[in-house]
Chain A
Amino acid sequence: MEMAPLFFLLLVAFGTAEITLPDLPGYGYSDLEPFMDEATVRVHHDGHFAAYTNKLNDALEEINTLSPGTLPEDPVDMARNYNILVNRLRKKVTQPLVIKFRNNLGGYLAHDLFFRGLTPAKAKPTEYSGLQTLGTALKKSWGSLEDFKEKFLDESSKFFGSGWVWLVLELKSGELMIMQTKDQDTPYSAGLEPIMCIDMWEHAFYLKHKNDKQGWGQDFWRLVNWEQAELRYLAAQEKRAEKYPVAGDGDL
């Protein structure tokens, strides 16, 4: 028998391949020092991020058994289409399983974005190296990079509870926005594409900063990988053009 069709049959029958925990991208546990302590990097990645990945896999296995073929393969697509997907799943899966899916899908995606959005401070020739098109857009929206930084860190410093602060591109309007999500929710399902983000769950900063959210924000800023942010911005604009094609795009 031909192997390819058999493989596809098995994929459909048993769901898609497991999601693996991404390694730290291009830096080691201690490379973010002194701004992020090694102990935090270890427990954040090997403890929290790993747990979200494992529980996401558990949830997906259950869902794909109860409702084969409903979910797309890519977790980002799951998040982008979250509301539609949950609607389709409603009659086949329990509410606790939906919640498990929501929390761990979000946790996996947010942490993947977070770690990929960091880089050792020593790897950055200047504070904002890597910013090009995005830099221009930030200045247009907030007046200056310093004003953007102030607005972003103000949002994170006053954060209450657990969640994230994001710089996003709204697909429909093309506008850059600073916004919050609670717990492990990501902006995808609201038609917002993440550009960069800060984790405001206490586990992200407590060992070094305790209750000092402002201090955490200042340290975080030293580690932001603006090259990655630039790439995400360009990709988001492509996604926007794909979703909302306009004759003559005009201002960005």
Chain B
Amino acid sequence: ETQKANLKQNMPFTCPDLPYPHDALAAKGISKETLTFHHDKHHAGYVTKLNALTEGKADLQAKSFEELIKSEQGAIFNCAAQTWNHTFYFNCLSPNGGGEPAGALKEAIDSTFGSFEKFKEQFTAAAVGHFGSGWAWLVKGGDGKLAIVGTHDAGCPLTEGQTPILACDVWEHAYYIDFRNARPEYVKAWWNCVNWEFAAKQL
């Protein structure tokens, strides 16, 4: 799996490539400029910082991002979690994305939320309503049930034993170039990019 391969770090930590060219989402409203800064500066920047913070600490450098997320706090947690969160987020988007899910994921969404429309409404509310930096997630809980959760700053559902299915980055850097303060418009564009195949594989 590309996702798993990307998340398995070599020493030192490396930033996974974007799964598509920087201009791949431009037609759907997420510009080349945004993806260039978002991936090449922010995402890559977290990895660079993580390498600096773990320099000389072989035990930490031997861990995966997921292990660091579960064991560390403070700056190291922030960098590991933000690296993981962004890798996951970019995989949640696709130039061929949008529409609605099918199969088992569709059934799970329908049974949990009543319908796709109701799920979409609730997820949108979570993404638009999050105050400050953070993320909106669709997760599968430890109990196997789907849920919509928000995390603040670098928060990652892995620390709660949840399995992420979808992520929407609502840090302002994710949308300010293209949408300025109009976060609802960004979230609409995000829906048009959702990679339901990737999401289904996480279930």
Query: Contact residues of A with B, CB < 8 Å?
Result: 43, 47-48, 51, 99, 103, 160-163, 182-184, 201-203, 206-207, 210-211
Contacts and interface: CB of A to CB of B under 8 A. Distances in A.
Contacts of B78: 160
Given A48-B181, A160-B78, A211-B45, A183 B171 contact: no
Interface of B: 37, 41-42, 45, 75, 78, 131-133, 152-154, 171-173, 176-177, 180-181
A162 B133 contact: yes
Contacts, number: 54
Contacts of B133: 161-162, 202
Contacts of A163: 132
A47 B133 CA distance: 17
Given A202-B171, A210-B37, A47 B177 contact: no
Given A160-B153, A162-B132, A211 B181 contact: no
A43 B45 CA distance: 27
Contacts of B131: 99, 103, 183-184
A212 B41 CA distance: 9
Contacts of B37: 210-211
Contact of A206 (B45, B75, B153, B176): B176
A211 B153 contact: no
Contacts of A103: 131
B181 A202 contact: no
A224 B78 CA distance: 31
Contacts of B181: 43, 47-48, 51, 203
Given A43-B181, A162-B133, A210 B172 contact: no
Nearest to A44: B181
A51 B75 CA distance: 32
Nearest to B45: A211
B45, B132, B154, B177: which has the most chain A beta carbons within 10 Å? Answer: B132
A107 to B, nearest CB: 9
Contacts of B75: 160
9 contacts: A103-B131, A160-B153, A162-B172, A183-B132, A201-B172, A202-B133, A202-B172, A203-B180, A210-B177
A143 B6 CA distance: 48
Contact of B172 (A51, A160, A182, A206): A206
B33 to A, nearest CB: 9
Contacts of A202: 133, 171-173, 176
A184 B131 CA distance: 9
A239 B45 CA distance: 43
B104 to A, nearest CB: 34
B73 to A, nearest CB: 13
Nearest to A46: B181
Q: By CB atoms of chain A within 10 A, which of B154, B176, B177 has the most?
A: B176
A103 B131 CA distance: 8
Given A47-B181, A183-B131, A161 B153 contact: yes
A242 B180 CA distance: 43
B151 to A, nearest CB: 11
A206 B173 contact: yes
A207 to B, nearest CB: 7
In order of increasing CB-CB distance, the 3 nearest A-B pairs are A202-B172, A161-B153, A183-B132
B180 A43 contact: yes
A47 B171 contact: no
Nearest to A183: B132
Given A160-B153, A161-B154, A206-B176, 4 more contacts: A163-B132, A182-B132, A184-B131, A202-B172
A161 to B, nearest CB: 4
Contacts of B172: 162, 201-203, 206
A25 B132 CA distance: 26
A43 B179 CA distance: 11
Contacts of A211: 37, 41-42, 45, 173
B177 A207 contact: yes
A99 B132 CA distance: 13
